[in-house]
Amino acid sequence: MIALKKWLVFTLASLTFVFSAQAAAQEAPDELVKRISTEVLEIAKKDQNVKSGNTQRIFQLVEEKVMPYVDFKKTTALATGKYWRQATPAQRDELTKQFHDLLFYTYASAISKVESGHKLQFQPLRAKADATDVIVNSRIIQPKNPEPILIGYRLEKQSDGWKIYDINVMGAWLVETYKTTFTNEISRSGIDGLIKILQDKNASLAAGGKTAR
């Protein structure tokens, strides 16, 4: 009887996972961005640990709500440009990890500043039905500033659903912004030099319990 109960629990859990994955895979890109953005914003408004800038709680929030829908490897490859092809598999893994952590600290800074009056608005998706690469545009309405924050999300359709791989904030694409910095640093000190700079930056942020600016 106990074995049967365990089997039933396992089966139900497995089915839930499969159905959730299928639902995410079928979700339209604009619906996906709207859902995860709204969930994160609402939690940020209510969770005191998030509001106080607790990076561990914010990391947990982003890992659970955002990361399943982000292709960080593609983001890092694009930001590294031509040097990505020259990097070893180990260097690629470490670059992805360090860039992931740096952007997390940056994101933590933004989330910790969310106020109760912040609201999200989304523009209609302008893309062909068979498009595999789209941009979802949104804006954040600020309670104390008449100027909204314009945010665009670039997504690619993959085998398991849509994945975000680039973000535009007020006209500046994240990949292009970091590509210049990465290219300059690699030209000076190589791929390992860039990795070392990212490692030192993240270590400093972690030790100080701060968010990137």
Tens place of pLDDT per residue across the chain (213 aa): 444 444 444 334 433 333 344 444 579 999 999 999 999 989 988 888 888 878 788 888 888 888 889 999 999 999 999 999 999 999 999 999 999 988 888 777 777 777 778 889 999 998 898 999 999 999 998 887 888 889 999 999 999 999 999 999 889 999 999 999 999 999 999 999 999 999 999 999 888 765 544
Q: Are strands 133-142 and 145-158 parallel, antiparallel or unpaired?
A: antiparallel
Q: Where are the domains of the chain?
A: 30-208
Structure tokens at 101: 């952590």
Give the pLDDT of residue 192: 97
C-alpha distances out from residue 1 to 4, 5, 7, 8, 9, Å: 5, 6, 10, 11, 12
Question: What's the length of the chain?
Answer: 213
pTM: 0.80
pLDDT of residue 81: 95
Q: In this predicted structure, what is the pLDDT of residue 206? A: 81
User: So what's the architecture of 30-208 in CATH?
Assistant: Roll (3.10)
